[in-house]
Structure 1
Amino acid sequence: MKTSQENSKKMMWPTLATMAFSIVWGFGNVVNGFIYFDGTKVILSWIIIFLLFFIPYALMVGELGSVFQNSEGGVSSWINATIGPKWAYYAGWTFWAVHVVYISSKGTGGLRGMSWGIFGNTTWYDSLPTTCTQLATLAVFLFFCWVASRGVPVIKTLSTIAGSSMFIMSILFIIMMYAAPMINPHAGFNSISWNWKNFVPDFNLKYFTSLSILVFAVGGAEKISPYVNKLKDPSRNFPKSMLGLAAMVMISAILGTIALAMMFDPKVVNANLNEYISNGPYMAFDKLGQYYGVGGLFMYIYAWCNVIGQFSALVISIDAPLRILLGSKEAKDYIPKKLLKVNKHGAYINGIWMIVCLSGGLIVLQAIMPNAQAVMAQLVKLNSIVMPMRYLWVFIAYIALRKQAAKFHNGQNYEMTKHQWLAYTLGVWGLIVTVACCLMGMYSDDPFTLCLNIATPIVLFLLGMILPTIKHHQDAKEQ
C-alpha cells in the first residue's frame, strides 16, 4: 500500500523533461547560435551537438544522479565517492571559479537591459566612454555583493518569477513569429532560401573557434540529477525524459533559428557582430512588437524581466556557488580558515571579498575595451570558454563510476548502457569534445581578448592549486 502511494506521488517523464527544458534552455541560446553561425547554417550544428554531445551527457548525469541519489553536493559528491576528497575539492573549486566570469557579465547585462527598458534602445549607453560603463558596472556589482553578504531571500523569488516569465516569452516569441506573416503579411519579412547550402555550415576558423558557444548552451543538465529517482520507473522513464528534453531543445533551436532568419539578414549581422551579440534578443522582440502593431511593448516586457533575472542571478551566483565550495566537507581540509569566516548573516564574508577582487578586477580590466558592446561580446565568448570547464568533472565522475561499477551499481539504479566499452567511449568522447571546444574558443584576432581568454582560466586554476598549499602551511605552523 505504501509503495503504491509513493509511486502515485512520483513524476511522469514528460514532467521531468519540461522541468529540465526550462533549466537548460533559453532564448539567448537561440540568438547566440544564429549570430555566431551565420543564421540558418547553425541548424545542422545544433542537430550534431544534440546527438553526439547533449544526449549522452544528459544520460550520464542521470546515471550519476541515480547511483548517488542521497548526495546533496552534486558533482563534488560524485567525485568524492568515486575518486576521493582532494579531487572533490578541485571539482567544487571549478564549479565556483567558472562563476567569476559569469558574475562579471550579469552586471553588464543588467545595465544593458535597463537601458532598453528605459530608453527603448542602447544608443546613449553605448555612446558613453567604456571607463564610465565599467565604473557603473563595478558599482552595481559591489552593491549586489553587499546584498549577498546580508542574505536577501526575496531575490531568489524574483529570480524564479523572472526565469519563468523569460521561459514563457521565449516560447511565445517562436509561436508569435510564425503567426506574424498571417496577421501582418506586408511587414517585410526576409525570404528564406531552402537550398541545402544555406543549412550547411562553413567549416572555417570562425566555426571551430565558436563551437564553445553551442557546448555552453546545452550544458547544465547536472542540475536535474536530484530528480532522477523521483520518477516512476527511472530505468525506463529517465531516458524518455532526456530524449524528450533533447527533442524540445532541438525543435526550439530549429524553429527559433528560422524565426530569426525571417527577421535578420546574416550578412547584416556579421557586419555588426558586437551590436547583435549585445542586443540581439531585444532587437528581436522589438521587431516582433512592430509586426503586431504594439510598438516596443514586447521588448519592454522582455527587458525588465531580463533586468530582474540578471541582477537576481548576480546575487545568487555570488552566494550559492560560494556556499557549495566553502560549506563542503572538503573545505576545512583544503581551504585556509580565513576564507571560511561567516558573518552574523551567515554569509562567507571573506569569500565574498575574494569574489570582489577577482570579478571586480575583470570588470576594471575591461575598461580598456573600445565600447560597451565590445565588453558584452567579449564576456559572452569568455563565458562560453570558462563555464563548460565544470562539465569536465561530470565526464570524469562518470568514467570513474563505470570503472567501479560492481561497487556502486546494485541492479536497481538507472544505467545509460550495460556495455562498459560504450560507457567508457562516451565518457572519454565528452571529455575530449569539451576540452577541444574550450581551447579552440580561446582564439581571437584581438590580442587583448586572446590574452584574457587564456589568462582567466589559468589564473583561476592556479588559485585553486595555491589554496591547499596555504592551508597545509597554516596547519604545519599550528602543529
Structure 2
Amino acid sequence: MAEQKDSKQLFWYNIALLAFVAVWGLGNVVNNFAQEGLVVVVSWILIMVLYFVPYTLMVGQMGATFKDAEGGVSSWIKEVSTKRLAYFAAWTYWVVHIPYLAQKPQAIMIALSWFFSGNGNFVNVTSSMIVQALSLVIFLIFLFLASRGITTLNRIGSIAGMSMFVMSILFIILGLSAPAMTGSSIATANMNHISTYIPKFDFKYFTTISMLVFAVGGAEKISPYVNKTKNPAKNFPKGMIALAIMVAVSAIMGSFAMGMIFDAKHIPSDLMANGAYVAFQRLGKFYHVGNILMYVYAIANAMASIAAFAVSIDAPLRILLDDADPQFVPAALRKKNADGVPVNGYKLTGVLVGIIIIIPALGIGGTNTLYNWLLNLNSVVMPLRYLWVFLAFMLLNKHLDKFHSDYMFVKNSKLGFGIGLWCFVFTAFACILGMVPKIAYATSPTEWWFQLVLNIAMPIFLISLGLILPAIARRQNREL
C-alpha cells in the first residue's frame, strides 16, 4: 500500500510542465504566424477553448480508465471495440509518421546550414532535387543505424529538447521586450488596433486550421501520467487546464513577438523554413550579441531533430509490430532478426519514405516551396491519429457502465459522446480543408494541381495500405 502511495507523487503543476514540454515548441508559433499573420492570436484562443481543452481532458479519462494499457490509443480501441479496429488504430499511428520522417532530413539540413553559413540561402538557392537526394541519403543512413539497434539518442534528445524549450521562452521574453529595452522598431503597424487580430472567416482561413490542430495535438503522449498523479480526479484536470493556459499564453505572446520582429502584412515566403533563425538573428542584433542566439538555436534544433528522427523511425513501428495480431499483420512483417529488429518493417518504412521524398521533387520546383508543402502535408496526415482518440472516447461513453475511472471528464455519457463527436468532426474537417495547396493558383496552376493531387492521394494511399496487410495475413493463415 505504501509503495502504491509513493508511486503517485505528481501534482497538477508537474503534469502541466511535463505535458507542456512534450507538446509545445517555437515551431508551432512560427508556422501558424507564417500562414495567418497576427489574426492567429484569435485563432489560438478559439482552438484552445473549443478543441485543446476537451481533447486533453478526454485523454485524461481514457488514460485513467485503462491504466494498464501499454499500446496507447490502439489498446483503448481494443478495450472498447474490436481487434480489427485496434489494428487500424495502430496502423494509423505508425503510418502518419511516414511524411514526418520524409520532412525531418530537410529540417536537419536547414539547421546545419544556418549554423555553418549564418544565412537562409540553402532554402532559397538550392535545387529541390539536390535537397531531396540529400534527404534520401540522410534517411537511409539513419534507417541503417536504426536497423543495427542504434534506436535512441535519449540523453542528447533530452538536452536538446530542454534547450529548445528554454529558447522558446527566451524568444518570447526577448521579442516582447526588445522595443522597450533596445529601442528597436515594431515591424507590424497598428498592433494596438483590435482589427489587426480579427480573422476573415473565409475559405482560405479554414484551410489553415489543420496547422493549428497539428500544433496542439499529441496530448495522448501524457496519458500514462494519469496513474502517477496524486488524487487524479482533482489534480489531472487542473494540470490540463494549466497546460492549456500555458500553451495559450506561449502561443499568443509568441505571436505578438513575431509581429514585432516581422511585418505581419508582408510575411516572407520562407518564414516557415527560416523564420525562427532570422528571428534569433535579429534579436541578437537588437541586444548587441551578434549571431550567438541564432547559433545556439540552430545547434539545439539540429540535435533535437536528429534525436526525434532516430526515435520516430523505430518507436512507432514497434508499437505496430510488437503486439501485432497475426490475424491482421503478416508473419513476414512481424519477423525479427537476432537483435530483435523488425527488418521487413524497416524495409517497408524505407520504401514509403523514399516515395514521399522522391515523387514531390518531380513536380514542386523550389526547396522552400517543397519544405512548406511537406510541412502542410504533415498537418493533414498527422492529426488523423487523433481521430482514434475521439472515436475511443465516443465508444467509451457508449459503454460507460462497464468501465471504472478515478477521473471523469464528464459523467453524462450523452454529453461525453457529443464532445468526442465534435472533436472528431472538427479534426476531419481541418484535415480535409488542409489539403488545399497554400500556393496561389495564379502563381503556377500546374504546380497547384500537382500539390492538390498529392495532398489527397498521400493520406488515402498511406491509410489504404493498411487494408492490404490483413488480406495477406488471412491468405497466409489459410495456407498454414
TM-score by length of 2: 0.95
Contact 2:151 2:314 in 1 (8 A): no
Contact 1:192 1:261 in 2 (8 A): no
* Amino acid of the structure 2 residue aligned with 1:334: F
* Amino acid of the structure 2 residue aligned with 1:457: P
* Amino acid of the structure 1 residue aligned with 2:220: E
Cα deviation for residue 79 of structure 1 reads 0.4
Contact 1:7 1:232 in 2 (8 A): no
Cα deviation for residue 443 of structure 1 reads 1.2
Contact 1:192 1:262 in 2 (8 A): no
Q: For residues 281-311 of structure 1, what are the alpha-carbon distances to aligned partners after superposition, in whole Å with 9 as ceiling and x for unaligned?
A: 1111111111111111111111111111112
Please name the residue that 2:445 is paired with.
none
Once residues 247 and 108 of structure 1 are traced to their aligned partners in structure 2, the CA distance between those partners, rounded to angstroms, is: 32
- In the alignment, structure 1 segments of 5+ residues that lack a partner are none
- In the alignment, structure 2 segments of 5+ residues that lack a partner are 442-447
Over aligned residue pairs, what C-alpha RMSD do you find?
A: 1.5
Please name the residue that 2:381 is paired with.
386
Decide whether aligned partners of structure 1 residues 470 and 160 sit closer, same or farther in structure 2, where only a CA change above 3 A counts.
Answer: same
Q: Secondary structure at the match of 2:266?
A: helix
- 1:451-462 maps to which residues of 2 (within 5 A)? 451-462=453-464
Please name the residue that 1:228 is paired with.
226
- 1:187-266 maps to which residues of 2 (within 5 A)? 190-266=188-264
- 1:95-244 maps to which residues of 2 (within 5 A)? 95-124=93-122, 126-152=124-150, 155-186=153-184, 190-244=188-242
Once residues 352 and 184 of structure 2 are traced to their aligned partners in structure 1, the CA distance between those partners, rounded to angstroms, is: 51
Once residues 112 and 188 of structure 1 are traced to their aligned partners in structure 2, the CA distance between those partners, rounded to angstroms, is: 27
Once residues 263 and 235 of structure 2 are traced to their aligned partners in structure 1, the CA distance between those partners, rounded to angstroms, is: 42
Once residues 123 and 451 of structure 2 are traced to their aligned partners in structure 1, the CA distance between those partners, rounded to angstroms, is: 22
Q: For residues 106-136 of structure 1, what are the alpha-carbon distances to aligned partners after superposition, in whole Å with 9 as ceiling and x for unaligned?
A: 0111111111111011314532222111111
Moved more, 175-184 or 294-303: 175-184
Q: Secondary structure at the match of 2:265?
A: helix
Once residues 211 and 451 of structure 1 are traced to their aligned partners in structure 2, the CA distance between those partners, rounded to angstroms, is: 20
Moved more, 335-344 or 135-144: 335-344
Q: Secondary structure at the match of 1:227?
A: helix
Please name the residue that 2:414 is paired with.
421
Please name the residue that 1:14 is paired with.
13
- 1:68-79 maps to which residues of 2 (within 5 A)? 68-79=66-77
Cα deviation for residue 408 of structure 1 reads 0.6
* Amino acid of the structure 1 residue aligned with 2:140: L
Q: 1:466 aligns with which of 460, 465, 468?
A: 468
Please name the residue that 1:290 is paired with.
285
Q: 1:367 aligns with which of 361, 365, 368?
A: 361
Please name the residue that 2:348 is paired with.
354
Once residues 468 and 347 of structure 1 are traced to their aligned partners in structure 2, the CA distance between those partners, rounded to angstroms, is: 22
* Amino acid of the structure 1 residue aligned with 2:382: M
Decide whether aligned partners of structure 1 residues 9 and 290 sit closer, same or farther in structure 2, where only a CA change above 3 A counts.
Answer: same
* Amino acid of the structure 2 residue aligned with 1:14: Y
Moved more, 6-15 or 397-406: 6-15
Please name the residue that 1:405 is paired with.
400
Determine if the alignment matches structure 1 residue 35 to structure 2 residue 34.
Answer: yes
- 1:296-375 maps to which residues of 2 (within 5 A)? 296-330=291-325, 332-368=326-362, 369-375=364-370
Once residues 229 and 329 of structure 1 are traced to their aligned partners in structure 2, the CA distance between those partners, rounded to angstroms, is: 25
Once residues 151 and 295 of structure 1 are traced to their aligned partners in structure 2, the CA distance between those partners, rounded to angstroms, is: 41
Contact 2:176 2:256 in 1 (8 A): no
Contact 2:132 2:358 in 1 (8 A): yes
Moved more, 383-392 or 142-151: 142-151
Q: Secondary structure at the match of 2:411?
A: coil
Please name the residue that 2:91 is paired with.
93
Contact 1:115 1:125 in 2 (8 A): no
Once residues 99 and 185 of structure 1 are traced to their aligned partners in structure 2, the CA distance between those partners, rounded to angstroms, is: 44
Q: For residues 338-371 of structure 1, what are the alpha-carbon distances to aligned partners after superposition, in whole Å with 9 as ceiling and x for unaligned?
A: 1112123322111111111111111111222211
Please name the residue that 2:444 is paired with.
none
- 1:268-279 maps to which residues of 2 (within 5 A)? 268-269=266-267, 272-273=268-269, 275-279=270-274
Determine if the alignment matches structure 1 residue 440 to structure 2 residue 438.
Answer: no
Once residues 344 and 150 of structure 1 are traced to their aligned partners in structure 2, the CA distance between those partners, rounded to angstroms, is: 11
Decide whether aligned partners of structure 1 residues 154 and 85 sit closer, same or farther in structure 2, where only a CA change above 3 A counts.
Answer: closer
Decide whether aligned partners of structure 1 residues 328 and 192 sit closer, same or farther in structure 2, where only a CA change above 3 A counts.
Answer: farther
Once residues 49 and 240 of structure 1 are traced to their aligned partners in structure 2, the CA distance between those partners, rounded to angstroms, is: 19
Decide whether aligned partners of structure 1 residues 390 and 8 sit closer, same or farther in structure 2, where only a CA change above 3 A counts.
Answer: closer
Q: For residues 425-469 of structure 1, what are the alpha-carbon distances to aligned partners after superposition, in whole Å with 9 as ceiling and x for unaligned?
A: 101000100000000111124111101110011111211001000
